[in-house]
């Protein structure tokens, strides 16, 4: 579930969420908070939460303690499996927050030879995978799994 005031962005990001659902074979409803911030704000957040004194492209603040699971292995996101995290009003499980810096994304898009839209899509996928328990900084094996999922979701391979 994603609610954005920019309807064009809403449509694009909803299609990304659908791709994530389909690729990972997720069941149930998820809620995530998505916020776009400037470089100064994400720099401060990166310093506060990761002790890294520089701006970054995206930060993920997971609400659930989920292990990285494979395709089709996630439990259904419902009130039975996530009783404490289930929002009855929205009939969904809150998984966390994604904070994206458009300034850093624009710079990276130029560096990687892609559009800003493509980079923002990648960062959203990347962040949601973190919220679902994946981590590319733990070891090379986990990094390869996460990268492969990103590519599959974004239909790059």
Domain interval for residue 45: 7-153
In a domain, 135, yes or no: yes
Q: 3-state SS of the chain?
A: CCCCCCHHHHHHHHHHHHHHHHHHCCCECEEEEEEEECHHHHHHHHHHHHCCCCCCCEEEEECCCCCCCCCCCCCCECCCCCHHHEECCCCEEEEEEEEEEHHHHHHHHHHHCCCHHHHHHHHHHHHHHHHCCCCCCCCHHHHHHHHHHHHHHCCCC
Q: For residue 41, give the CATH number of its domain.
A: 3.40.390.30
Crossing angle, helix 140-153 and helix 7-24, to 10 degrees?
Answer: 120
In a domain, 49, yes or no: yes
Residues 6 or more apart whose Cβ sits within 8 Å of residue 114: none
In a domain, 35, yes or no: yes
In a domain, 48, yes or no: yes
Cα–Cα distance between 153 and 157 in angstroms, integer?
A: 9
In a domain, 142, yes or no: yes
Task: Give residue 157's pLDDT band: very low, low, confident or very high (50, 70, 90).
Answer: very low
In a domain, 2, yes or no: no
| Domain count across the chain | 1
Of 90 and 5, the structure prediction assigns the larger pLDDT to 90
Token pair belonging to 86: 């289930």
In a domain, 54, yes or no: yes
Token pair belonging to 113: 């030879």
Percentage of the chain modeled with pLDDT above 90? 76
In a domain, 1, yes or no: no
Task: Specify the pTM.
Answer: 0.90
Averaged pLDDT, 64-73 = 90
Task: Give residue 55's pLDDT band: very low, low, confident or very high (50, 70, 90).
Answer: very high
Computed over its alpha carbons, how large is the radius of gyration of the chain? 15
């Amino acid at each position: 579930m994603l609610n954005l005031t920019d309807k064009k962005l809403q449509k694009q990001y909803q299609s990304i969420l659908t791709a994530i659902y389909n690729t990972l074979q997720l069941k149930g409803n998820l809620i995530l908070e998505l916020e776009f911030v400037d470089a100064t704000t994400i720099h401060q957040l990166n310093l506060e939460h990761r002790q890294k004194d520089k701006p970054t492209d995206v930060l993920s603040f997971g609400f659930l303690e989920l292990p990285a699971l494979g395709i089709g292995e996630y439990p259904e996101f419902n009130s039975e499996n996530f009783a404490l995290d289930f929002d009855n009003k929205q009939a969904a499980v809150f998984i966390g927050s994604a904070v994206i810096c458009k300034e850093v994304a624009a710079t990276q898009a130029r560096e990687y030879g892609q559009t800003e839209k493509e980079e923002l899509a990648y960062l959203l996928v990347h962040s949601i995978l973190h919220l679902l328990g994946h981590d590319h900084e733990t070891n090379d094996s986990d990094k390869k799994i996460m990268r492969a999922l990103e590519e599959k979701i974004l239909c790059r391979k």
